[in-house]
């Protein structure tokens, strides 16, 4: 479970980095259709990062509230 939390956190950081890069580069796009597509792409990566962060927080909470595992 600890490895799951670490991997989810790293994945969330990567997703948020891609999203930030996408949002920052929107000003360089002149075509409105491409800009809208780029905005959608950035929001998709933001969503993926949010899901990964939620899973990491859930895993962390499960680790803290564990009362002895399956055999306890």
- Between CA 71 and CA 53 the distance in angstroms is 29
Q: Where are the domains of the chain?
A: 2-64
CB-based contact 59:46 (threshold 8 Å): no
What pLDDT is recorded for position 70?
58
What pLDDT is recorded for position 72?
46
**Owner of token pair 């595992």:** 69
Which of the 8 DSSP states describes residue 31? -
Task: Collect the ranges in the chain with pLDDT lower than 50.
Answer: 72
Please give the share of the chain, as a percent, with pLDDT higher than 70. Answer: 93
What pLDDT is recorded for position 9?
97
């Amino acid at each position: 479970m600890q490895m799951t939390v670490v991997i989810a956190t790293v994945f969330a950081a990567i997703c948020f980095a891609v999203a930030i890069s996408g949002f920052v580069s929107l000003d360089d796009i002149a075509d409105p259709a491409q800009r809208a597509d780029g905005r959608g792409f950035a929001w998709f990566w933001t969503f993926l990062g949010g899901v990964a962060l939620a899973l990491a927080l859930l895993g962390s909470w499960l680790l803290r509230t564990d009362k002895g595992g399956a055999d306890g």
